[in-house]
Amino acid sequence: MANVAELMAEARSLDLFKPHGAFEVHCSNCHTRLSPMGDCPQCGLIGRPEAELERRAQAGAAGVERTLREAIAKRRAYKPVKEGRAT
Protein backbone atom coordinates (compact mmCIF):
# COMPACT_ATOMS: atom_id res chain seq x y z
CA MET A 1 0.00 0.00 0.00
CA ALA A 2 2.84 2.42 0.75
CA ASN A 3 3.89 2.12 -2.86
CA VAL A 4 0.40 2.93 -4.13
CA ALA A 5 0.18 5.91 -1.77
CA GLU A 6 3.43 7.28 -3.19
CA LEU A 7 2.20 6.80 -6.74
CA MET A 8 -1.09 8.49 -5.86
CA ALA A 9 0.82 11.47 -4.45
CA GLU A 10 2.95 11.65 -7.59
CA ALA A 11 -0.07 11.43 -9.89
CA ARG A 12 -1.74 14.15 -7.82
CA SER A 13 1.31 16.40 -8.13
CA LEU A 14 1.19 15.93 -11.91
CA ASP A 15 -2.50 16.88 -11.82
CA LEU A 16 -3.57 13.58 -13.37
CA PHE A 17 -6.84 13.15 -11.51
CA LYS A 18 -9.56 14.77 -13.56
CA PRO A 19 -12.79 12.85 -13.12
CA HIS A 20 -14.94 13.10 -16.22
CA GLY A 21 -18.66 12.81 -16.54
CA ALA A 22 -19.92 9.47 -17.85
CA PHE A 23 -20.87 11.17 -21.11
CA GLU A 24 -17.38 12.59 -21.74
CA VAL A 25 -15.54 10.81 -24.51
CA HIS A 26 -12.64 13.21 -25.03
CA CYS A 27 -9.79 14.19 -22.71
CA SER A 28 -10.25 17.64 -21.19
CA ASN A 29 -6.49 18.15 -21.33
CA CYS A 30 -5.46 17.04 -24.84
CA HIS A 31 -8.79 16.11 -26.46
CA THR A 32 -7.72 12.56 -27.29
CA ARG A 33 -10.49 10.01 -27.23
CA LEU A 34 -10.63 8.43 -23.78
CA SER A 35 -10.26 4.72 -23.12
CA PRO A 36 -13.35 2.75 -22.03
CA MET A 37 -12.09 3.16 -18.45
CA GLY A 38 -12.17 6.93 -18.87
CA ASP A 39 -8.40 7.35 -18.88
CA CYS A 40 -6.47 9.21 -21.56
CA PRO A 41 -4.10 7.03 -23.61
CA GLN A 42 -2.21 10.11 -24.77
CA CYS A 43 -1.37 12.33 -21.80
CA GLY A 44 -2.03 9.91 -18.92
CA LEU A 45 -4.98 11.79 -17.47
CA ILE A 46 -6.96 9.60 -15.06
CA GLY A 47 -10.65 10.17 -15.59
CA ARG A 48 -11.63 8.61 -12.29
CA PRO A 49 -11.72 10.07 -8.80
CA GLU A 50 -8.85 9.32 -6.43
CA ALA A 51 -11.31 7.69 -4.03
CA GLU A 52 -12.23 5.11 -6.63
CA LEU A 53 -8.60 4.14 -7.17
CA GLU A 54 -8.06 3.98 -3.42
CA ARG A 55 -10.98 1.61 -3.09
CA ARG A 56 -9.60 -0.54 -5.89
CA ALA A 57 -6.16 -0.50 -4.27
CA GLN A 58 -7.65 -2.01 -1.13
CA ALA A 59 -9.11 -4.86 -3.17
CA GLY A 60 -5.86 -5.44 -5.03
CA ALA A 61 -2.97 -3.02 -5.27
CA ALA A 62 -1.27 -4.48 -8.35
CA GLY A 63 -3.76 -3.26 -10.94
CA VAL A 64 -3.98 0.23 -9.46
CA GLU A 65 -0.22 0.44 -9.17
CA ARG A 66 0.11 -0.41 -12.85
CA THR A 67 -2.57 2.12 -13.81
CA LEU A 68 -0.78 4.85 -11.86
CA ARG A 69 2.67 3.99 -13.18
CA GLU A 70 1.43 4.00 -16.76
CA ALA A 71 -0.41 7.29 -16.31
CA ILE A 72 2.65 8.94 -14.75
CA ALA A 73 4.93 7.63 -17.52
CA LYS A 74 2.52 8.88 -20.19
CA ARG A 75 2.31 12.32 -18.66
CA ARG A 76 6.10 12.55 -18.41
CA ALA A 77 6.40 11.62 -22.10
CA TYR A 78 3.55 13.87 -23.16
CA LYS A 79 4.43 17.10 -24.91
CA PRO A 80 1.58 19.53 -25.44
CA VAL A 81 1.27 20.43 -29.10
CA LYS A 82 0.07 23.94 -28.44
CA GLU A 83 2.60 24.80 -25.76
CA GLY A 84 2.40 28.36 -24.53
CA ARG A 85 -0.76 29.08 -26.41
CA ALA A 86 -3.84 29.49 -24.32
CA THR A 87 -7.05 28.10 -25.75
Nearer to Zn ion, 42 or 54 (CB): 42
- What is the smallest separation between the CB atom of 57 and Zn ion, expressed in angstroms? 23
- What is the smallest separation between the CB atom of 3 and Zn ion, expressed in angstroms? 25
Binding site for Zn ion (CB under 5 A): 27, 29-30, 32, 40, 42-43, 45
User: Would residue 57 be called left, alpha or beta, if left means φ above 0 and alpha means ψ between -120 and 50 degrees?
Assistant: alpha
Residue 30 amino acid letter: C
Nearer to Zn ion, 61 or 78 (CB): 78
Nearer to Zn ion, 38 or 57 (CB): 38
C-alpha distance from residue 82 to each of 29, 37, 74, 78, 79 (Å) = 11, 26, 17, 12, 9
